[in-house]
Copies of this chain bind each other. A is one copy, B any other.
Amino acid sequence: MTEVSRAGADTPVQRLTGPEIAEFLEEVFPGSMENFTIEAVEPMRARIRMPFRPYRLRPGGTISGPSLMALADTGLWVALLAMIGREALSVTSHLDIDFLRKPAPADVIAHTTLHKLGRRLAVGDVIMYSDGETVPCARASVTYAIPSSYRG
């Protein structure tokens, strides 16, 4: 995940670190840090882990769809929060997800990339892997509406 730092002068500046985001998330969504671990944050990128919990299983021993959707949503939100800071509470306006393979009963890791950080909308991609796998179990893209109080 060093590619972004090469992007140069036009790369937006990161405002929050991973631990600062974790603290903020726990504040506004108490308990969320039991469900997700922020592993890495860079400008326009983040890596989030969803630890395995038996209650996320579906019949057949697979992780539930809504759990993966929540991971995609939260994971890219972390990358967004890093850029716009804690004063702006953006909301998800669109999410689409493709379930590619049955995820194993294990942690799932989301690699998230913001492609656009506009004044009104932010858009990015998420690729999710079962822990230890090299082929993804799901992909998603998410759009967030940024409140008009945010001015870049």
How many copies altogether?
4
Q: Complex: how many Å from CA A65 to CA B29?
A: 13
| A104 beta carbon closer than 8 Å to chain B | no
| A106 beta carbon closer than 8 Å to chain B | no
Residues of B within 8 A of A121 (CB): 93, 145
**With known contacts A115-B139, A123-B139, A95–B65 Cβ distance under 8 A:** yes
**With known contacts A29-B58, A59-B29, A127-B115, A98–B141 Cβ distance under 8 A:** yes
Residues of B within 8 A of A127 (CB): 115
Interface positions of A (Cβ within 8 A of B)? 7-8, 10, 28-29, 58-59, 65-67, 69-70, 73, 91-101, 115-116, 120-121, 123, 125, 127, 134-136, 139, 141, 143, 145
